[in-house]
Amino acid sequence: MRYTRLRMIALRQVVALILRYLQTWEVSGEQALRQRNKENWRSFPGGPRYSPDWSLQEPQRYAAPENSPPSGPDQLCPRLVAIQPELRGAPENAPAARFRDQVQPILDAYCYACHGNGATEGGRALDAFVSDEAMLANRKLWWAVLKNVRSGIMPPASEERPNDDERRRLTDWIKFNVFGIDPDNLDPGRVTLRRLNRVEYQTRFAT
């Protein structure tokens, strides 16, 4: 009987120690979780400010309104990245903006009658671009325009032609915006002449 009583006392002490340990662990775990949530919310833009009386058992105090858009970090971060250019006030594509302001009126006045508005004389249209990027990437077309305008082939002598200032604006836009030539460094440097082979020499200097 005495042995049984001792066993019961020992068992009660063990149970009391276990309960005390569990209570201590639960409190410390809740405090750690509370602290981690506090730091996360403080560092998250738009998150609620932490107050000492905020309880983990009262999430409804900070619940989002019903039918509101997702507002967690996983949803907001991509949106912030997407609108970053607007937040910075990013300028419009500068070459495309110059085209619309300075070049397109010239083309409309002198070129679109044959190469725009549905007309594709010579297989070239100067207004059939699906995007600004496609327009700037079509270097072959703009190289042909540059050569023809600079040499006076286009527009034809029988048609109205752009004046010197308009021609300069058109050719400068092609050189500086399509081909990316630096207007402050127009010197290409030393150009090494390549020797002609026999066929090239005979063709070049044949009389």
When the pLDDT of each residue in the chain is averaged and rounded to a whole number, the result is: 74
Give 12 or 191, the one with higher predicted confidence: 12
Top pLDDT among 173 and 53 is at: 173
Q: Where are the domains of the chain?
A: 1-52, 94-199
**What separation in angstroms does the CA of 166 have from each of 34, 104, 138, 171, 173?**
69, 11, 21, 9, 11
C-alpha 201/C-alpha 187 separation (Å) is 28
- Highest-confidence segment of 1-5, 12-16, 190-194: 12-16
Are 112 and 125 in contact, with CB atoms under 8 Å apart? no
**Environment class of 172 (CB within 10 Å of its CB; exposed 0-12, middle 13-18, buried 19+):** middle
pLDDT band, residue 84 (cuts 50/70/90): low
Residue keyed to tokens 């309104």: 65
DSSP symbol at 142: H
DSSP at 59 = G
Indicate whether 181 pLDDT > 80: yes
> Does residue 167 carry a pLDDT above 90?
yes
pTM, two decimals, is 0.48
